Amino acid sequence: MTKVETKDERQRRLRAAGTWLREQREARGWSGSDLARRLDLNQVRVSAYERGQYEVPNAVAEGIATALDLPVVEVRQQLGLWVPDDADLEDLRRHADPTRLADDVLLGELVRRYQRRTDREIVNVYPYRSSVPGELWDRLIHDARSEISLGGYTNYFFWTERPGFNELLRAKAEAGVRVRILVGDPEHEVTLRREEIESAALSVSTRIHITLDELAKLGPVPGVEVRLSDQNAEAHVSRSIFRFDQEELVCEHIAERLGHGSLTFHMQKMQDNGPFSQYATHFEHLWDGGHLWTPPGAE
């Protein structure tokens, strides 16, 4: 699994990038305003880069390379930005000879290709989870061959909208699919706070109990794991991640909206550490922070 940068790691990287930029500027005897003028930027913005407050954008990195008269790849490395690896160069060779391209042209093309690949990971965006076609949910569930991870805070809609869902889960597990179901703890303080925010007739804890009651009917099934969100419940209640092999549906919960009214992204994996992988890693973070749930009487 691709490692996703933590908040502390990002801050350290940005501080190191800022220190390098300031040292390069000072080594040339330039003031902050001198560098800002060469980059056609506001001095406040350049100062913020040097303090490690912001990520340096691709276009600015190219401008820094020009101003400092350094190779673009070297500058991007020092700024902690993405640089192409051998696989990226090999992909480009199908269309052009990298050795015949200027350094800035080569990197610019690779960056554009990287960004386009990232964009393609987002297959579709739905204004609400309820507007995701039922046929899409069915295809994702039925086509899964290795993994089904249901990371909604309540997940109850799978049972209320899909008759025979328990038997489908059983069949998937028996076929070798790893099924993981993560729901909120109905007694957790985060659940109780969310109920106050939503103020819905069908409360969060009630929706969770619907799911747990259905899972109790399913009983212990090898290959089906259930956990209740615990350590990272706050992060879980604001975002639902549903993974089916190399595709995901991600719901971003906004304000007091219920899950069915949440902005939803359909993603497919196209690269390492792209949007798909970052959300997949977030699910693992939530999963690791949960505790095992077993059906009543199965302990």
Tens digit of each residue's pLDDT (9 = 90 or more) over 138-147: 999 999 999 9
Of 237, 273, 271, which Cα lies nearest the Cα of 254?
A: 237
Same domain, 166 and 257: yes
In the beta sheet, which residues pair with residue 267?
122, 248
Same domain, 275 and 147: yes
Total domains in the fold of the chain: 3
Task: State the pLDDT at residue 284.
Answer: 95
Position 139 in a domain: yes
CA distance 46 to 64: 11
Q: Which range among 3-7, 184-188, 260-264, 273-277 shows the weakest confidence by mean pLDDT?
A: 3-7
Domain residues for the domain of 55 are 1-83
Half-sphere exposure of 272 (CA within 13 A, CB side): 10
Is 149 within 8 Å of 281 (Cβ atoms)? no
Q: What is the pLDDT of residues 25-54, one digit of tens each?
A: 999 999 999 999 999 999 999 999 999 998
Residue labelled with tokens 């209640």 = 237
92: pLDDT strictly greater than 50? no
Q: What is the DSSP string of 68-131?
A: HT--HHHHHHHTT-----HHHHHHHHTTS-GGGS-HHHHHHHHHHHHHHHHHHTEEEEESSGGG
Same domain, 89 and 225: no
Q: What is the pTM of this model?
A: 0.61
Same domain, 21 and 97: no
Same domain, 241 and 254: yes
Structure tokens that stand for 96 in this block: 């052009």
How many other CB atoms are there within 10 angstroms of residue 285's CB atom? Answer: 15
Q: Is the dihedral of CA 263, 269, 270, 276 positive or negative?
A: positive
Per-residue CA distances from 91 to 76, 98, 104, 120, 213 (Å) = 20, 10, 17, 16, 51
Same domain, 6 and 116: no
